[in-house]
Amino acid sequence: MDYSNYSVEDFLMDESFQKYVREGDKESQKIWEEILRNFPDKAPEIEEAKEILQWVRFQKRKPSIKDAEQDIKRFEKYLLQATIGKSGKVVPLWKRGWAAAVVVMVCAVGFLYYYPQVITVKKTDTVQNTKEYFERKVPDGQKLSLKLGDGTTVKINAGSSIKFPQKFTLDKREVYLEGEAYFEVVKDAGRPFIIHTGNFQTTVLGTSFNINAYPSQEVFKIALVEGKVQVEDIKEKSRRVQLTPNQMAICLDTGIVASAFDPEEELAWKNDILVFKEADIHQVAHKLERWYGVDITLSKTHLIEKKFTGRFHNQTLGHILKGASFALGFDYTQQGKSIIITGTK
């Protein structure tokens, strides 16, 4: 592009120049520094155009919060009435009230019917954003399968919780996870599926994968089975990886690394298979607590150095304890939900 005949006005009219002065983003800066290098004679014009643009920078007059709220309420009220009085006839006020009550009741019944296990419903109410969240907590010893509004299925492992809006917005699907879950995300290119786990977020476009993000653990793991996901640190956006199938992101405080993973080990839980792979006594106890919802106390087990490997499908806790006690060398006593493991050495 030839700028040698550009006047101050021409620069002012140039949309790329406007963007450069207004936003000063790196990309525009690069473009315009390059132009200045190529047309050094134009420095005075560019300088003047910059000055003038700085002066005609305006701010918009915003409505007061009270007015904006009043307006949205008026609008929502209209919308409610418009959907009830479909005939277009003017519905008398008392009839309108009745119709609205019926709708609300039906909603409430439907709500209870579909969400029998809802534990808390948190309501955040702002002008911009009116969303209701459901939170599902899965206690130790249980698992839960869920189908979300967009058709995505989630299997949630024991001791985990998930939070999601009653209805996803039009531009994205966001859920919050603590613990471990297996997602089969329905493809929707226009609405990325985002999973928030602590400081990390995983962005998905149609895929199935496993997230392991128990807050008590230091390491979060996201294992991808198929599709494509991006994992990023929300505090340090430069830290991010894109996964390809059979890769796993390991999120640490210091960064995110991608590595291969063993599907047997990472995904078995969703098929109700409990897997131990070279697990020490602490890992075994921890996994059993979560899987069966029991309380395990370790006593004099510091000398146990052996590792335990095993694969159990629908087995009782007693059966596994028996196997592990033999392999690792410990005794145990069980009273209801509490178990004491004692080293034998």
Partner 1 sequence: MKLPDQTIWNSLKNGNKEAYLQIYKSHYELLYSYGLKLSNDQELTRDCIHEIFVNLWEQRAKLNDVLHIKAYLLKYLRRLIFHKLKKKNRQTSIDSLQQESFQITFSPEDLLIQQDITKENQQKIMEALSHLSPRQKEIIYLKFYDELSYQEIQDIMSLSYQSVRNTLHKALTSLRKRLLSLVVIIFFTSKILYINSL
Site for partner 1, rule CB under 8 A: 8-9, 12-13, 15, 18, 22, 47-48, 51-63, 67-68, 71-72, 74-76, 78-79, 82-83, 127-128, 167, 169-172, 190-192
- Whole-angstrom distance, CA of residue 289 vs CA of residue 14: 66
Residue closer to partner 1 by CB (options 33, 76) is: 76
Shortest distance (Å) from residue 123 CB to partner 1: 17
Shortest distance (Å) from residue 67 CB to partner 1: 7
- Whole-angstrom distance, CA of residue 342 vs CA of residue 36: 77
Look-up of token digits 């009230």:
97
Residue closer to partner 1 by CB (options 15, 253) is: 15
Q: Which residues fall within 8 angstroms of residue 49, CB to CB, at 6 or more apart?
A: 8, 11, 12, 17, 21
Q: Which residues fall within 8 angstroms of residue 163, CB to CB, at 6 or more apart?
A: 133, 134, 135, 136, 175, 176, 177
Shortest distance (Å) from residue 179 CB to partner 1: 27
Contact 68, 127 (CB under 8 A): yes
Residue closer to partner 1 by CB (options 46, 213) is: 46
Shortest distance (Å) from residue 46 CB to partner 1: 12
Shortest distance (Å) from residue 63 CB to partner 1: 5
DSSP string for 153-178: EEEE-TTEEEEEESS--SS-EEEEEE
Task: Label residues 210-226 b or e (16+ Cβ within 10 Å = b).
Answer: bbbbbeeeeebbbbbbe
Residue closer to partner 1 by CB (options 232, 289) is: 232
Residue closer to partner 1 by CB (options 174, 180) is: 174
**Paired sense of beta strands 144-147 and 330-335, if any:** unpaired
The burial of 58, by beta-carbon neighbours within 10 Å (0-12 exposed, 13-18 middle, 19 or more buried), is given as exposed
Shortest distance (Å) from residue 39 CB to partner 1: 19
- Whole-angstrom distance, CA of residue 226 vs CA of residue 206: 9
Residue closer to partner 1 by CB (options 58, 94) is: 58
Shortest distance (Å) from residue 89 CB to partner 1: 14
Residue closer to partner 1 by CB (options 3, 332) is: 3
Contact 218, 252 (CB under 8 A): yes
